[in-house]
Amino acid sequence: MKQLIFSNGTAPTFVDSLLGAGQLAIVGETEGGFEELNSLGGGLLSDSPAIRLVQAGLPGDNANIVSPWIKGVDVVGWAGTTFRAQTPQQSTLTFSAVPVADGEVSIKLISSEQGIEKFNRKSVTIAVLAAATVASYSVKLFNALIGKPSTFVPVNGQDYPISGITWAVANYSAASIITVTGTTFSLPSNTDLSSFRTAADGLNGSNGALVTVASVATPDLGAGDAFVLQQMENSLQGDRSYYNRISQPNTPNTYVNLASEYSVYTIRVKNNHPGTIAGVDNFRNITIAYVDGGADQANFEADMNGYLASCPGAFAAVTL
């Protein structure tokens, strides 16, 4: 079982048993029902055998969203990571050699994304003359690479993994550098985290290597990125729609705020009564996406860390 819970980072407030919009609360199990964990003694296992995460529904829902009860004795993992932005792939083309003979130089950008046929996304070839200055042929090659801006507009999320080609130095110099930057993952504009290879060929062997290719940044989805969380939310809800016997397709509500950056916490709990599919039915994984730097984040961490430190696993504090 997997579940994704969101918080906008503000302190939880219940009004008529409903949480304020975007809020997240931790409640503890009591003999008479439940109370907020921070109001139960020290908020420890001895005060409450189980806790539950409560997320506000969308305005008008008139219902909270809750996790299953999490028994302290069943918790087997507690971890977290602070927000880390996505990193697009970057490669550099450095021009530092003067041609000794007439010839050609070719640059190819080749997709390496999984599940996509490997073919050139961009390929240009220019003529170079003996003793041509680095600035003259690097400018010519740069202009050829960006000559068709539409080439770099993604289509259906897969066609073109390059978002831009720019100069990395202010002025043309004896060692001109061009930087090629890939796309990052974004569902609304339907782009992928691109991965590509950059190759340079001197088509006249007399010239040697006129262009040196180097990778300066590898692609990374980061942590707590709203678009990545949106994909996770969609997958847990059945992608963009799910079967509903009254009205289908019926698109579920989404709670991720695409303008936010999130800290991500994960709590892993073993089931008291394991299912028949080993590794699937035996554990529950609950992911908590908490607005990074939220005003109440320190209190949320204090409550969770205090309770989980008192459990049999004596879990180390997660402070982000």
Q: Is the pLDDT of residue 232 over 50?
A: yes
What's the pTM?
0.82
pLDDT number for residue 150: 41
Domain extent, residue 127, equals 90-217
Average pLDDT value over all residues in the chain: 83
Q: Is 56 in the same domain as 169?
A: no
pLDDT of residue 297: 97
Same domain, 97 and 206: yes
Query: pLDDT tier at 115 (50, 70, 90 boundaries)?
Result: low
Instruction: List Cβ neighbours of 263 (8 Å cut-off, separation of 6 or more).
Output: 80, 81, 82, 83, 224, 289, 290, 291, 292, 293, 297, 320
Q: Which of 70-79, 240-249, 304-313 has the lowest mean pLDDT?
A: 240-249
136 with 59, same domain? no
Return left, alpha or beta for 149; rule: phi > 0 is left, psi -120 to 50 is alpha, else beta: alpha
pLDDT of residue 66: 93
- pLDDT 10s digits, 128-183: 888 888 888 888 888 787 764 444 444 444 455 566 677 665 555 666 888 888 88
Q: Which residues contact 80 (CB under 8 A, 6 or more apart)?
A: 263, 264, 265, 266, 318, 320
Q: Which of 179, 197, 217 is the last residue of a domain?
A: 217
pLDDT over 60 at 259, yes or no:
yes
pLDDT in the model for residue 156: 46
- Residues 6 or more apart whose CB falls under 8 angstroms from that of 261 comprise 83, 85, 224, 225, 226, 291, 292
Which of these three, 168, 195, 217, is where a domain ends?
A: 217
Q: Which residue did the predictor score with more confidence, 171 or 207? A: 207
* 55 and 64 Cβ atoms separated by less than 8 Å: yes
* CA of residue 12 relative to chain centroid, distance: 26
The larger pLDDT score, comparing residue 167 to residue 13, is at: 13
For residue 314, the model assigns a pLDDT of: 97
Report the domain count for the chain. 2
Q: Which residue among 217, 252, 274 closes a domain?
A: 217
Does a structural domain hold residue 68? yes
79 vs 106, which has greater pLDDT?
A: 79
Let me know whether 159 and 249 are in one domain.
no
pLDDT of residue 151: 46
> Are 202 and 231 in the same domain?
no
How confident is the model at residue 279, as a pLDDT?
Answer: 57
User: For 276-293, what is the mean pLDDT?
Assistant: 83
Residue 317 falls within a domain, yes or no?
A: no
For residue 140, the 8-state DSSP code is H
17-27 pLDDT, tens digit each: 899 999 999 99
- Distance between CA 272 and CA 282 in Å, rounded? 8
Q: Please tell me the predicted confidence (pLDDT) of residue 261.
A: 97
Helix count (H) and strand count (E) of the chain? Answer: 3, 18
Specify whether 7 is located in the same domain as 71.
yes
Contact 137, 105 (CB under 8 A): yes
Same domain membership, residue 196 and residue 98: yes
Residues 42 and 114 in one domain: no
Amino acid letter, residue 109? L
Work out the average pLDDT over 191-214.
Answer: 78
